[in-house]
Amino acid sequence: DEPTSGLDAARSSELLQLLSDLSASSCMNIIAVIHQPRHSSFILFDKLMLLAPGGKMLFQGPPTLCVPYFKILGFRWA
């Protein structure tokens, strides 16, 4: 749970890369809660689940489909 809490951006990215490598080399799933990751960290995830308050699922799938999905729903980014 929140493995990057208290880490600076560089260390956070390093840790997430390590977890990604570990998952790939050991064929195990790693589940983590990450708040506001940088883009370089965000794209390391194979699958993403975004939850709203109360635990309602907003999105589940590859991170590369997240923005297109929300654009289809009418969300705009500045």
What is the rounded CA–CA span in Å between residue 63 and residue 78? 19
pLDDT at 78 over 90: no
pTM (predicted TM-score): 0.67
CB-based burial, 15-52: b 16+ in 10 Å, e otherwise: ebeebbeeeeeeeeeeeeebeebeeebeebbeebeeee
Backbone φ and ψ for 61, nearest 5 degrees, come out as 155, -165
Q: Look at residue 62 in the predicted model and tell me its pLDDT.
A: 93
Q: What is the pLDDT of residues 6-53, one digit of tens each?
A: 788 888 888 888 888 998 898 888 888 887 778 888 888 888 898 889
* Residue the block writes with tokens 């990604």: 20
